[in-house]
Structure 1
């Protein structure tokens, strides 16, 4: 994806590697687009604003069809790229659990 001036674009981050993904106003992510840095599919559940592991089918959009592989590209009409890139890395979760365990020793 081409770099755009900051005032005319919105910046998102790849949920896999955290690399910025710059979108022009009104631009959407195509089904076959991938992250320039890590090659992760960008039109995938883990990249979506509706993705929520605690929700039914791991999606807050109740009308969305079930997608089995959340990291692969899909045809979901409700896809909206997340602005937070909030997917936690495994190491971060383990560190947090260790800190909690240490509190109760």
Structure 2
């Protein structure tokens, strides 16, 4: 499972989650100290739907920018697809190239 990142809703600071790591209710942004476990950072947050949440079973949360105890919270993430130097692809490429070197 790859590392994932999401941006703080308040300042845009990139927050990296290691594989399998979750946002805790006590986590805050290192740049602006905004709460990270809040509706505004959740993948279900949608101002255009009822309760501003796409998860139909979630309870109403009045402060969308503050920590909440919603069990449906999932960070609004992007998968990090940047290749890391020295990864499996690089090793495979070197082995492939070595087959044809004279």
TM-score interval, smaller chain = 0.7 to 0.9
Question: Once the 2 structures are TM-superposed, how far is the Cα of residue 83 of structure 1 from its aligned partner?
Answer: 2.0
Gaps of 5+ in 2: 79-102
Q: Which residue of 2 aligns with 1:35?
A: 29
Q: Which residue of 1 aligns with 2:81?
A: none
* 1:52 aligns to 2:46 (yes or no): yes
Output one character per residue of 1:20-51: Cα deviation in whole Å (capped at 9) or x when no partner.
Answer: 10001111000010000001100000010000
CA distance in 2, matches of 1:18, 1:73: 17
Gaps of 5+ in 1: 1-6, 85-105
TM-score (norm 2): 0.72
Q: Which residue of 1 aligns with 2:12?
A: 18
Question: Once the 2 structures are TM-superposed, how far is the Cα of residue 8 of structure 1 from its aligned partner?
Answer: 4.9
CA distance in 2, matches of 1:21, 1:60: 23
CA distance in 2, matches of 1:21, 1:33: 11
CA distance in 1, matches of 2:64, 2:2: 30
Aligned pairs, how many? 78
CA-based RMSD of the aligned residues comes to 1.5
- Which of the numbers 55, 58, 68 marks the counterpart of 1:61? 55
- Structure 1 stretches (4+) deviating beyond 4 angstroms? none
TM-score (norm 1): 0.70
Q: Which residue of 2 aligns with 1:71?
A: 65
